[in-house]
Amino acid sequence: MKIIMYSVLAEERPYIEAWAQKNGHEVTQITDDLTPATVELANGYDGIDIQQTIPTKDPIIYQKLASYGIKQITARMVGYEMLDLDLATQYGLTVTNIPAYSPRAIAELGLTQAMRLIRQLGYFDQRMENGDFTWNGMISREIHDLTVGVIGAGHIGGATAQIYTALGAHVIANDPVHNVELAPFLEYVDLDTLLTTADIVTIHTPLTDETENIINAKTLQQMKKTAYFINMARGGLVDTQALIVALQQHEIAGAALDTLADENLFFEHQVTPDQIPADYKILKAMPNVLISPHSAFFTNTAIKNIVEIGLNDVVTIVSGKKSANALN
């Protein structure tokens, strides 16, 4: 079987090569994203595996893949909002994602950033850069005294709840599905209760029409002025301008963001200062804001699982079988 993988990272290559050798398939690795200009590279292959956040909704992509005899698109990531499932279905393409490759990887970075915010290390850094090594006004709370609100208690949200519970925090969650297996680690509540109660609000939902800008001026105003907001999911879940205003007006205490709504313009790329969006610059200048370049998933365990689960799904579907990760 011949498989082409788009947007391959250097860190993925050893795992791809090991999988190909073990399973006896030919895997071509390219660094390009799947676009109308690069879709022709898939001609002659049996399956396709992609990883990208840029939109992939041009009908020509789906039309050409189908004309090449390809039956699937494997997205080796959790989010799949960049794909058009209706077009995929129209052209007989089964789309799969990877709903869980290492939930702890993302949960752990969320915790890391939350702990840094709680201990006000950004403010300490700012003071120390100016020669001020005093502690006045910088007293912190301890994690076991806090209530953590998890919006979206799926694989990653569930792992997040377990970690915070292990540290002694009280965890509440909002999710339309109540998973009984998470009962020892969290208490389900409505969204309003979560927003008004939690000391840390961490979001782990997919980006859909229903969840876009779910964190907005109204929901930010519902949060405690002492609350911290953590987004390790998708930038489009947050109204960035509303978040900036909330931070500037001290409606919340701080934020940690692994993703921004306009991240496709610069995240995962090397850019010049004039190419960096104004919203990023405003947020980055705040001592109570932490930003990472959508790297929460980037651990050795996660990369290995991403590669293997994705390629296994390609083989499953090309072989005429059904994948548990099919989205359409």
**127 flagged as catalytic:** no
Active-site position among 76, 155, 294, 308: 294
**294 flagged as catalytic:** yes
Q: Identify the CA nearest to 244 among candidates 205, 283, 204.
A: 283
Q: Identify the CA nearest to 50 among candidates 110, 95, 10.
A: 95
3-class DSSP state of 56? strand
Name the residue type at position 149. G
Q: Identify the CA nearest to 98 among candidates 316, 306, 320, 318.
A: 306
Contact indicator for 74, 310 with CB cutoff of 8 Å = yes
Tokens of 143: 């994690």
Active-site position among 204, 234, 251, 308: 234
- Give 45's contacts (C-beta < 8 A, 6+ positions apart): 2, 3, 4, 28, 68, 70
Active-site position among 12, 81, 263, 308: 263
**269 flagged as catalytic:** no
- For 102, counting Cβ atoms within 10 Å of its Cβ (0-12 exposed, 13-18 middle, 19+ buried), the class is buried
* Catalytic sites, residue numbers: 234, 263, 294
